[in-house]
Every structure is written in structure tokens, then in C-alpha cells.
Copies of this chain bind each other. A is one copy, B any other.
Amino acid sequence: MNLYKPGLHLLSTFASSPEQLTDVQACRITFDQLIDSLKLTKVGEAYHVFPNGGFTAVICLTESHVSIHTWPELGMATFDVFLSNYLHDNTDKARQFYEDVLLYFSATELSKHELTR
């Protein structure tokens, strides 16, 4: 008997401004506020800023993870949110997280993939 309940993994490539793509602190605050408001549980994270101000970050959640990699010189980023449905159905939270991050970045979506896994 397999009790696994696949979760929603949303993967975006989006365009945004160089200002926002280099503002790691504001992005971090946005992520933390979303994690709090959606009652997700952060258990670790890593943020790294490149010499040009672009940054890469991964956030480890008990529900799975969030990641972002920005290229301000190209005006774009890749962003993932993956929330398992192991204990609760987190599908709506994954969609809300995704939408709010793109809203924060005033993003133009260049590609979006949805995987149930």
C-alpha cells in the first residue's frame, strides 16, 4: 500500500527589474512573510550573493523547498516552489506562494511548468 500523495511543483522563469533581482534582503523578507502567512515550516536556508548583485537561494521546508536564481544582467530569474501533500493538501498554498512571488517581482512570466510528483 503506497500512501504517497504527490505534491505540486511549480517552476517559473520570469523577467523582472535589475533592482529587484539584486535586492536579496527584500526577497528574503518576502519569502519569510509568505512562509509565515501560509503556515509553512522552514528548517534551513542558504542565500548566496554574486559579485554583480545577483543571488541564489534555497529554502528547506518540512513541506519540501523553494529556490530562486537571479540574473540581473539578463533581467530574469528561475524560481521553484514544491510543496508535498504528505500530511496536508498544500496545492493551494503552492499556487498562492507562486503567485505572490511573481507579484512581488512585478514579474513577466517567461515559462511555467507544473509537475505533480
Q: Which residue of B lies closest to A117 (CB)?
A: B13
As a 0/1 sequence over residues 76 to 90 of chain A, the CB contacts with chain B under 8 angstroms (1 = contact) are 101000101010000
- Interface size band for A: 35 or more
Give the segment of A22-30, A42-50, A94-102 that binds chain B: A42-50
Q: B58, A48: Cβ atoms under 8 Å?
A: no
Instruction: Report the Cα distance A62→B11, complex, angstroms.
Output: 19
Of the candidates A56, A62, A82, A113, the one having the most CB atoms from chain B within 10 angstroms of its own CB is: A56
Known contacts A11-B117, A78-B117; is A67 also within 8 Å of B69 by CB?
A: no
User: Does A57 sit within 8 A of B, measured CB to CB?
Assistant: yes
Instruction: Report the Cα distance A58→B56, complex, angstroms.
Output: 12
Q: A46, B46: Cβ atoms under 8 Å?
A: yes
Q: A43, B46: Cβ atoms under 8 Å?
A: yes
> Shortest distance in angstroms between A44's beta carbon and chain B's nearest beta carbon?
2
List 6 A-B pairs, minimum CB-CB distance, nearest first.
A44-B46, A58-B58, A43-B48, A46-B60, A58-B60, A4-B74
